[in-house]
Amino acid sequence: MVKDKEESCLEQVKKDYAELREKYSLPNFDDLNKDFQIEKVAETETELLLKEIRRFMFDKFSNYMRFLETLLNPVNASIFTFSVLKTLSVEDKKIAENIYKRLMKLEVDLMEIDIEYSEEKEAEFIKKGFKEWNEVKKSWLKIIRSVKKNWDNSVKNDSKGYFA
């Protein structure tokens, strides 16, 4: 029975979002959900649906940004981070810096929206953030593929580290 209640909450969120989508020309719910798991909004009772969706987007941006910060400035980084760093080319690092700058810009925009709430600004951020994410994730995939490609060589050459 609980599942039926959750499904009805999710259906209500989708219905509410559809109205907001129409009003503000927002991205498709399913597309946002695939990248930001916005269906979790159904677990929260809110009158500020766009703010909650934006919060889920921010969480993802923030997580990636923190990882990129560690790659770009690896003070006290984990062994995993250092292993990843060894796989990156100069070009990969430039791509990472670019992604980081783009995500930082979004975070600054978020601060303004957090301080001064406006449904219209929330909608604008969702559109902008979704567009930006779709561009950033292509670059991010290049880095991931580079890491995967170079991983075995990096790990093999790392055998002279602390545990050798």
**Six-digit token string for 5:** 């209640």
Residue for token pair 């600004």: 121
- What local confidence, expressed as pLDDT, does residue 156 receive? 58
With respect to residue 70, please indicate whether it lies within any of the assigned structural domains. Answer: yes
With respect to residue 7, please indicate whether it lies within any of the assigned structural domains. Answer: yes
Report residue 90 as tokens.
């100069």
> What is the per-residue pLDDT for 2?
41
35 domain-assigned: yes
Check residue 3 and give its pLDDT: 47
Number of structural domains, the chain? 1
Give residue-wise pLDDT tens across range 80-100. 777 787 888 899 999 999 999
Does a structural domain hold residue 164?
no
pLDDT for the residue numbered 162? 44
Q: Which domain holds residue 111?
A: 2-158
Task: Give the end-to-end CA distance of the chain in Å, rounded to a whole number.
Answer: 56
Position 7 scores a pLDDT of: 54
Q: Residue 121 domain-assigned?
A: yes
> For position 86, what pLDDT does the model report?
81
Tell me, yes or no, whether 57 lies in a domain: yes
pLDDT tens profile 109-138 = 999 998 999 999 999 999 999 999 999 999
Lowest mean pLDDT among 6-10, 57-61, 149-153: 6-10
Q: Position 7: which residue type?
A: E
Structure tokens at 7: 């499904």
